[in-house]
């Protein structure tokens, strides 16, 4: 009897090891890399564009601090595979391993996002209405439904957008609208952005920049 039990335990161990390995390599399960290692990589290859802590000093580049690690890992992988096209980022990730990307995701997710404020209150008023209620007449759903009322997002599918640079947000919405960016879940962002006017994109971007 004891030999039989021992055999069962021995057979179960490899299964447990495989499961543990799966947890460490796949997004969506809350298990990510080493933030300390990620900080070292970020300092070498990412800080110039995204800041030393993920709060980018350049409005054309996204803030990464406080972003969901699932989302960060997905974007890095897709820059590397070409699913998300960007010549600069393709060059940056070319020599990164999956472990490096997981470490970077862990690092940026661990850093607090700095609060920012919107600058144009007229745009904010329009953007707030769009974000909270959408545009029913054009079939545009409220942004809050996927990205949450405070912009914190719903991991792992929907990223944090609060406090993002208005210039970066507007650029991405335009890219989704044009189909130049097509790595969104179920083409959701492309369908939404295709129905937004330039004025609505600018208003949304401005409102999101001060959202907390």
| Domains detected in the chain | 35-110 (1.10.760.10), 121-209 (1.10.760.10)
Closest C-alpha to 79, from 46, 107, 57? 46
CA distances in angstroms from 152 to 113, 160, 211, listed in the order given: 11, 4, 9
pLDDT at 204 over 60: yes
The mean pLDDT of 171-185, rounded to a whole number, is 97
Whether the per-residue pLDDT at 209 is higher than 80: the answer is yes
Which residues are paired to 158 by β-bridges? 154
Assess contact for 114 and 89: CB atoms under 8 A. no
End-to-end CA distance of the chain: 61
Q: What is the pLDDT of residues 74-120, one digit of tens each?
A: 999 999 999 999 999 999 999 999 999 999 999 999 999 999 999 99
Residue with more model confidence, 40 or 12: 40
In angstroms, the CA 138 to CA 197 distance is 11
Residue 4 scores a pLDDT above 90: no
Please tell me the pTM assigned to this model: 0.85
Question: Is there a contact between 203 and 135 (Cβ–Cβ < 8 Å)?
Answer: no
Residue 172 tokens, joined:
């991405």
Residue 32: per-residue pLDDT? 82
pLDDT at 10: 37
Give pLDDT tens digits for 30-68. Answer: 468 999 999 999 999 999 999 999 999 999 999 999 999
Task: Tell me how far apart the alpha carbons of residues 70 and 105 are, in angstroms, rounded to a whole number.
Answer: 8
Q: Tell me the C-alpha distance between 208 and 73, whole Å.
A: 23
Evaluate whether 59 touches 165 at the Cβ level (below 8 Å): yes
């Amino acid at each position: 009897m004891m030999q039989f039990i021992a055999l069962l335990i021995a057979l179960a161990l490899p299964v447990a090891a495989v499961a543990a390995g799966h947890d460490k390599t796949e997004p969506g399960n809350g298990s990510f890399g080493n933030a300390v290692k990620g900080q070292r990589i970020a300092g070498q290859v990412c800080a110039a564009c995204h800041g030393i802590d993920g709060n980018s000093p350049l409005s054309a580049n996204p803030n990464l601090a406080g972003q969901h690690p699932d989302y960060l890992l997905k974007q890095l992988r897709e820059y590397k595979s070409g699913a998300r096209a960007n010549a600069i980022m393709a060059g940056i990730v070319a020599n990164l391993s999956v472990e490096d990307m997981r470490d970077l995701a862990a690092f940026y997710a661990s850093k607090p996002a700095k609060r920012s404020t919107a600058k144009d209150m007229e745009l904010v008023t329009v953007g707030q209405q769009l974000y909270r209620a959408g545009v029913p007449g054009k079939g545009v759903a409220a942004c809050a439904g996927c990205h949450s009322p405070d912009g914190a997002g719903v991991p792992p599918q929907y990223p944090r957008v609060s406090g993002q640079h208005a210039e970066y947000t507007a650029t991405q919405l335009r890219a989704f609208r044009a189909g130049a960016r097509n790595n969104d879940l179920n083409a959701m962002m492309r369908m939404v952005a295709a129905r937004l006017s330039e004025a609505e994109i600018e208003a949304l971007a401005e409102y999101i920049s001060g959202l907390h």
